[in-house]
Amino acid sequence: MKNIPFRKMGYAFLMSALLAGCGNTAAPETKTGDQTAEQPAKPADQTLDINIKTEPPTADPGLADELIGIAVAKTAFDGLIRMGEDGKLHESVAESYEISPDLLTYTFKLRDTKWSNGDPVTAHDFEFAWKRVLDPKTASPYAYQLYYIKNGEKANGAKATLDEVGVKALDDKTLQVTLENPAPFFLELVSSVTYLPVNKKVVEADPKWAGEAKTFVGNGPYIMETWEHKNKIVFKKNPNYWDASKVKMETINMSMIEDSNTELSMFDSGELDWAGSPLGDIPTDALASKADQLKTQPTAGTYWYTFNTKAAPFNNVKIRKAFAYAIDRKAIVDNIVQQGGQPAYGILPPSMALKPEGYFKDAQTDEAKKLLEEGMKEAGLTTLPEITILYNTSELHQQIATAIQDQWRKALGVEVKLKNMELKVVRQEMTQGNFQIARASWIGDFNDPVNFLEVFREPTGTNKSNWSDPKLQELLKASAVEKDVEKRKSILAEADAIVADAIPVTPIYYYTYKWLQKDNLKGVVIDALGYPDYKYARFE
């Protein structure tokens, strides 16, 4: 069947699907206070100073799987589709696209754009980048995001060749993509970091190309000028960017300051133009005094603790439940997180919740004690081994860990140690299974429950708990081919209940971003999923 132009219909279909699924989360309400605090004037040179707290584990878009790395990659790269300042999806490197009547084939026509080294960006770069993510040898933690492409999952599992994957450059300017099943959120996925292109020639020539500014090649609104590891990343405006007239910032300085008090002090003194979410923190004890200046935005993200289900004692589900049920989430939100969240009783955030009331209640002390006793008996334990909470360095993470440590001591009589490391090391320890309980989170890639549930599809990649369940896998496969909206919702609800019962992670709170920004800073886009984009940032 001949393809038909589908741009306008595609947007209408996509946005109606998103709005039907997430209410107003596509454009969350932003609370803006009267910023009466005196702020130093910003120079007219359009230089943005922000804090990203810590060294990103990677700036490679095919490997980035956490907020800081994703934000860095999004600054340096541009995809086929990009969200605009208006909060809607727009063609970017793709000048146009068509979708076949059966919703299975997408054909993108690329405009003339360049890499930061002067090479032309071609459809072959996109084909290479997407197949690279799916290549098992790449070990991309977000490879599952491309499972919607025909044979994507099979190729990632070495059950099909990369040549059989449904993405093909028909010529330098035409990319054709074939899906396994209709996916109304596919354009939103295409706008995500995992679907960004990489320069085929550069990547093949140097496997470490993304580790230093001098070898880093992007195609986005900004060029990475310097990367002082564990200190600062500096971006400069890309003069050859196809949409350069919309890019007003000349320089973006990303500092790596772990201490939130220092971050706030630098904001107050004019050294930073932004403090707090999504990349930084505001000290808890400063929230009340900054309430009139604070801006907030709910986002589809869940802060949770991951259990290592392959190591004692958390290889026993009753012991996992005991520790989960003993947490008083409301107390943590009220006293620590404050405006930055709401208690979480399931892994799915409110914008996509299938059981809004959740699966358990706060501080179920008696039930927790009973489960701990039963679990230890099942595991043949008379005493628990030494237990440690691992978290990446942050005042907020430390305060939450300290509170939970105290709650477990009082509710369960268990002494728990705390251990903090930089984010990159925490990720490595979790990947290698060298942990018992570790702080983690999940921020949606698109606003649909399957995005959270698929984290637990396989005991690899982003699923650091190493838990899996054949029934869950069957349900996820069934949801992928179910066209009836209500039946699909029922399937996913059953999958959600399985995860909640197995409790490979225990949710603590749902994210609401909170931050301070300079009065005259405009155009920073934070999408409904909480990812920042600085393409349109400017001082007025």
pLDDT 10s digits, 229-245: 999 999 999 999 999 99
What DSSP string runs through 379-431? Answer: HT-SSPPPEEEEEES-HHHHHHHHHHHHHHHHHH---EEEEEE-HHHHHHHHH
**Does 3.40.640.10 match the CATH number of domain 297-512?**
no
pLDDT 10s digits, 276-335: 999 998 988 888 888 889 998 888 899 999 999 999 999 999 999 999 999 999 999 999
Give the ranges where 438-529 is alpha helix by DSSP (H).
449-453, 470-481, 485-502
Cα 399 from chain centre: 22
pLDDT at 482: 85
Among candidates 371, 398, 397, 373, which has minimal Cα distance to 383? 373
Q: How far apart are CA 361 and CA 338, in angstroms?
A: 19
Q: How far apart are CA 450 and CA 189, in angstroms?
A: 13
Three-state helix/strand/coil letters over 146-213: HCCECCHHHHHCCCCCHHHCCEEEEECCEEEEEECCCCCCHHHHHCCHHHCCCCHHHHHHCCCHHHCH
Domain boundaries, the chain: 4-23+43-255, 297-512
SS3 label, residue 275: strand
> What top-level class would CATH report for the domain 4-23+43-255?
alpha beta
- For residue 340, CA distances in Å to 2, 197, 440, 513 come to 50, 34, 16, 6
Contact call for residues 183 and 150 (beta carbons, < 8 A): no
pLDDT at 447: 81
pLDDT at 398: 96
CB atoms under 10 Å from CB of 86, counted, come to 10
Q: How far apart are the first and last CA of the chain?
A: 50
Q: How far apart are CA 189 and CA 183, in angstroms?
A: 10
Task: Indicate the average pLDDT of the chain.
Answer: 90
Kindly tell me if the per-residue pLDDT of 1 is higher than 70: no
Element housing 512 (H / E): strand 505-517
List Cβ neighbours of 88 (8 Å cut-off, separation of 6 or more): 11, 15
